[in-house]
Structure 1
């Protein structure tokens, strides 16, 4: 049995867990404050939220800089940790994947359970990240080994499996070339906002749209855009995708092999900025370090369109979830034969 902890912020962690679980040769139990997704292949342990209530009462959530999130005397935190511990005691899992929580990784290891951690780009040299990455048996890096994260210590690199990016859309075929070859139609921009937060205003989006005649903009996600359970048709219909630099959004764009303008958003530890730098190094997308001025959008869209999307195969080879599942299974098997 493998346990998979799914963080409840945004949707990327859940999509990644579903993709890996679908390829796992071992049963996978999900543990999360999110509801069980449709089609989850195993049990699901529902966890209380640890971020509700009045933040003014949370106290020092970092425990003196040693943790990331442990609000003081919070019933939800106490309940979720107790429930995870109860599940570990009842099932004796061979491995727990943390995607992603330092505190859950630490709890599992304190209970004697080997851990794997879904790695993130950015500055991870703080004490909590060092603890989680040091104690992990395996680090899963959903980016290619040709674009490693700079500055990682040797012992992290030694236990890292670079899977390449992967998404729920791996294995689907992008739009046929003839659909994009029709120059008589209005070219389309898909603005992919996601659900993990936003750094751009509705006015800025409207200004970009107005400054790029000849392009028709559609927005998915964010408070001002509709959302679709399956955005694949919208991705495939786009001539250029404008997106943030979250792992899941980029993996879905890469699966569709769509030209992209990527605008990293502010995130803790500089995660999206680091991802943007990696994309720019390999010329995988047009990267803007902040939301561009309206006057710059027409040229950026043309630049992305001319570059095309075929280089995304270097970022997302199409079998990343299977690679991740094999890496987890290898850890389990090594323990079984030790």
Structure 2
């Protein structure tokens, strides 16, 4: 049995977990505050939320942890449920994406942890603690970029990270070679929040009368939990710099305009800085108010085949191999 803890913020953690779980050859139980997705291949342990108190008390334990609010009944209940599940199921390993506290809880129960690392400035003491106690560390970006995507992390930690490549839930597609008289741009908004407003999107469309737009957003257009068809139909994708969004654009082999959004630990800004370095993307610092025609026209001619180095379609299998290796290695004889 493998356990897989899924953080509830946004949708990227869940998409990644589901894709990896479907590549595993052993039973896997999802553990999360999120509801079980319809395509999850195993059992699911539903956890209560621990962030609903409007005035949490000492949530960082004096700066030693990320989120452990005093007296929170949701926190008490969720930790109890995880401990109870560990004692009952005796998992071979627990994949944690992402929570220092859950990683610690598993390790205190004698369960080896496979930690999922995200881009950004994560060399603080709390992250260091969570990374140090993991049996193995996995990152969903291409090999050779860890030092840039995790700046400031000591060499002894960064050298332990398995960079498995961009992890998309969609299969690799083909580069679009034909040029349409009216190119199409797909706006892929983030479920974790973004800087796009109705006014800014209207301005962008007004400035690009020779472009057709598909707007995928919970607030500004038509939301589709499976944007694969819209991305494949686009000549260009306008997206934030979240890991899953970039992986899905890369898998579709579409050029992109990337606008990083504000996230803890500079996660998207760090990714965007790397994407400036030879990838088929034009990176803008903010959602512009002027110059949209020039921006889209400058990006649409980039060769989407360049994403092959970011996402080759086998990241989930490589991730699953790390999990299984830990499960077999750490299992008592």
Instruction: Name the TM-score, length of structure 1 as normaliser.
Output: 0.94
Tell me which residue corresponds to 2:264: 268
Write the distance in 1 (CA, Å) between the matches of 2:67 and 2:4: 19
Cα distance, 1:98 vs. partner? 0.8
Tell me which residue corresponds to 1:126: 124
Tell me which residue corresponds to 1:224: 220
Tell me which residue corresponds to 2:247: 251
Tell me which residue corresponds to 1:329: 324
Is the counterpart of residue 32 in structure 1 residue 32 in structure 2?
A: yes
Write the distance in 1 (CA, Å) between the matches of 2:39 and 2:193: 26
Write the distance in 1 (CA, Å) between the matches of 2:22 and 2:91: 18
Write the distance in 2 (CA, Å) between the matches of 1:325 and 1:67: 28
Cα distance, 1:232 vs. partner? 0.9
Q: 1:315 aligns with which of 310, 316, 323?
A: 310
Tell me which residue corresponds to 2:192: 196
Write the distance in 1 (CA, Å) between the matches of 2:194 and 2:107: 34
Write the distance in 1 (CA, Å) between the matches of 2:156 and 2:24: 26
* Per-residue Cα deviation, 1:61-87 (whole angstroms, up to 9, x for no partner): 111111111122111111111100100
Tell me which residue corresponds to 2:11: 11
Cα distance, 1:337 vs. partner? 6.9
User: Residues 170 and 319 of structure 1 are in contact (CA less than 8 Å); yes or no, is this contact kept in structure 2?
Assistant: no
RMSD: 1.5
Structure 1: unaligned runs, 5 residues or longer: none
Write the distance in 1 (CA, Å) between the matches of 2:228 and 2:39: 18
User: Residues 197 and 220 of structure 2 are in contact (CA less than 8 Å); yes or no, is this contact kept in structure 1?
Assistant: no
CA separation of 1:207 and 1:274: change in aligned 2, threshold 3 A: same
* Per-residue Cα deviation, 1:214-267 (whole angstroms, up to 9, x for no partner): 011221024222211321110011111000000111111111111100000000
User: Residues 118 and 267 of structure 2 are in contact (CA less than 8 Å); yes or no, is this contact kept in structure 1?
Assistant: yes
Tell me which residue corresponds to 2:70: 72
* Per-residue Cα deviation, 1:284-327 (whole angstroms, up to 9, x for no partner): 31111221232x21111111111131111111111000000001
Equivalent runs, 1:54-93 vs 2, <5 Å? 55-56=54-55, 58-93=56-91
Is the counterpart of residue 286 in structure 1 residue 282 in structure 2?
A: yes
Write the distance in 1 (CA, Å) between the matches of 2:21 and 2:202: 40
Equivalent runs, 1:202-221 vs 2, <5 Å? 202-221=198-217
Write the distance in 2 (CA, Å) between the matches of 1:170 and 1:74: 42
CA separation of 1:51 and 1:337: change in aligned 2, threshold 3 A: closer
Q: 2:180 aligns with which of 172, 176, 183?
A: 183
Tell me which residue corresponds to 1:152: 153
Using the TM superposition, name which of 154-163 and 324-333 deviates more.
154-163
* Per-residue Cα deviation, 1:30-54 (whole angstroms, up to 9, x for no partner): 001111111211111010111123x
Equivalenced residues, count: 330
Cα distance, 1:22 vs. partner? 0.8
User: Residues 236 and 255 of structure 2 are in contact (CA less than 8 Å); yes or no, is this contact kept in structure 1?
Assistant: yes
Write the distance in 2 (CA, Å) between the matches of 1:43 and 1:70: 26
User: Residues 197 and 222 of structure 1 are in contact (CA less than 8 Å); yes or no, is this contact kept in structure 2?
Assistant: no
